[in-house]
Amino acid sequence: MREACCFITRNERETRGLALRMAKFLKRGDVLALEGDLGAGKTTFAQGLAEGLGIEQKVDSPTFTIVKEYGGQIPLYHMDVYRVESPDEELGLEEYFYGDGICLVEWASRVKPLLPEETVWLRLLVQANGDRHIQLISMHPRSMRLCKELEGK
């Protein structure tokens, strides 16, 4: 998979801001797969996304529950699959991935075989100076479209 576009955020607020902006372009059934080390900003991104979707509840890490559901104009399913050892575990995640909401999956590569083809992959990379590089890395048309919208093209 190659990079479709990349954004640099200098602090937590900017990462939230990028996600908030992206939220406006998302639709039911979209799946965002987030990759990045612990502390890279995946949950921060989820918080901005929730805000952009008009969700008022506090979004925190779903590590111990795997899925947290938030009701907005469009429901948000926030997942952290760090603890999932194998995609074969009977977790019922496909119901969410192919459901009527927007999914954001932290550590998504752990369940890669379960994810829809049009999944939008985001890679969060921590730079030496603390900036984050946030790459959209799928070449699927859905990702390309989102890049264009985010870049205002």
- Specify burial of residue 112 (Cβ count, 10 A radius: 0-12, 13-18, 19+): middle
Which residues lie near ligand ADP (CB under 6 A)? 9-12, 14-15, 36, 38-44, 106, 130, 132
Q: Which of residues 50-79 bind Mg ion (CB under 5 A)?
A: 61
Report H helices in 10-134.
12-23, 42-52, 94-97
**Which C-beta is closer to Mg ion: that of 13 or that of 148?**
13
- The binder of 44, among Mg ion, ligand ADP, none, by C-beta within 5 to 8 A per type, is ligand ADP
Nearer to ligand ADP (CB atom), residue 67 or residue 144: 67
Binding string, residues 102-141; x marks residues near Mg ion by CB under 5 A: ----x-----------------------------------
CA-based angle 54:126:6, to the nearest 5?
65
- In the chain, which ranges are E strands? 5-9, 31-35, 67-70, 76-80, 102-106, 120-126, 132-136
Residue 44 binds Mg ion, judged by CB under 5 A:
no
Residue 11 binds which entry of ligand ADP, Mg ion, none, CB below 5-8 Å type-dependent: ligand ADP
Give the three-state DSSP class for 129. coil
Nearer to ligand ADP, 42 or 142 (CB): 42
